[in-house]
Amino acid sequence: MPKGYDKGIHAAIIFLNLFGLLMILSANMTSIATRKSLTIIFVKEIAFIVASYYIMVQAARNFSFKAFGKHYMKILIGIMGLLFLTMAFPSVRGARAWIRIGKITIQPSEFAKVFVILLMAYFLGDKQKVSTKVKSMWKLAKTPIVIVLIIVGFVTIAQKDLGSAVVIAGITYVVMLVPSNLAMSKAQRVMFTLLVIGLILMFWVTTPKGVAMIDKLPIPSYMIDRFRISANPFTNRYDNGYYQIFNGIVAFVKGGLLGVGYGKGFIKYSYLPEAENDAILAVVIEELGMIGFSFLLILYGIVIYRLLKMAFKVKFEKEKMVLVGTVAYIMIHFVFNVGGITALIPLTGVPLLFISAGGSSRMAIMLAIGLSQSVISRHKALEQKKVKHV
């Protein structure tokens, strides 16, 4: 890691990845598991962790906005090419979001989440002088906004991966609130108000009145079903849609404070269709209880707190936007995953970062952490130079 990196974030990230490795193994300790199958899973996840750590280190040591500005079109073409390539593979649970190479799957939309952070930072950060000439937000931000709309539109319509599309849009939305130029100030005030209203509505739509309103909208029935399930996950616990949510809640009740013990959970035995992915939190709480969940919260809290602390310290808006974007990335995933599995909000199929199985999501968030560490390292180096000159 580069000199001046944040050791607190680094330590928390390592513990989160190792915790995730242990819980993925536990989620696969079922009646059909063998020593060989668990060994394969262990080796595969270790390989993902090592590769992700390498990506984080390289990003922390080598990232620069100058290089990104020079190559962002090539990166965009690469991401769009990979997104289009997913159309050549069969759908999984109705979505066509993955590229399959043997037993390895790649989800390009995960890397798009990091790309939009850098895209917005590059185009909108540190543009105070430009804002005196450009009077409208659209003229200043139209290029990155159009690119993001294309990505979100493709992920939603072609891939049918609403969860990833919402995350990409959400990250973009939060990052756009950071720049301080005058051309964006009026729009930012409106955006912030809409964000607050949106957060309130996110929980209101799972009420009976909210579901009744959603039912009248021209959206696919399977999406409406997700709102119905969140409104009352106990309506039909044997139905495919209700099954996972109901058993996830049962896992929370069984886990209590201390849990039933690592590896001793029962819900993962075919009662959670995505035990190692979207529903891994249910496995964590059933086996390790609220104590295990509290441990996760502390680690997440360390990462988020230290990123936000540095966001208030860094001088350049581009760097601030990278740090805030990474926080938004982590927070949106956390809220959607925890809220979905507890029926507080509709289930979106978004993984719990660092913990859920999946090489693409792990590599993407570790890349974002590496970019943040690069920003932190550069800021501390500048501060040291100032001290020497003084």
DSSP letters, 96-134, are: ---EEETTEEE-HHHHHHHHHHHHHHHHHTT-TTGGGT-
* CA 51, chain centre distance (Å): 18
Q: CA 321, CA 226: separation in Å to the nearest integer?
A: 33
| pLDDT for res 277 | 81
Residue 341 pLDDT class (50, 70, 90 cuts): confident
Q: Taking 80 as the threshold, does the pLDDT of residue 35 lie above it?
A: yes
Residue of 305, 328, 361, 353 lying closest to 172 (CA atoms): 328
Compute φ and ψ for 100, nearest 5 degrees. Answer: -110, 125
Cβ neighbours of residue 312 closer than 8 Å, sequence gap 6 or more? none
Q: Do 278 and 263 form a contact (C-beta atoms < 8 A)?
A: no
- For 144, the token pair is 């990155």
| Residue labelled with tokens 């066509």 | 96
Query: pLDDT digits over 231-285, tens only?
Result: 777 766 666 556 677 777 888 888 888 899 998 888 877 667 677 888 889 899 9
Predicted TM-score (pTM) of the model is 0.90
Query: To 10 degrees, what angle do helices 7-27 and 35-62 make?
Result: 160
Out of 141-150, 186-195, 214-223, 272-281, give the one with best mean pLDDT.
141-150
Residue of 15, 37, 13 lying closest to 25 (CA atoms): 37
| pLDDT for res 215 | 76
Sequence letter at residue 132: T
Query: pLDDT digits over 349-386, tens only?
Result: 788 999 998 889 999 999 999 999 999 999 988 878 77
* In 10-142, beta strands by DSSP E: 99-101, 104-106
Q: CA 348, CA 274: separation in Å to the nearest integer?
A: 13
Q: Do 229 and 251 form a contact (C-beta atoms < 8 A)?
A: no
Residue 130 pLDDT class (50, 70, 90 cuts): low
3-state secondary structure of 218: coil
- For 106, the token pair is 């790649």
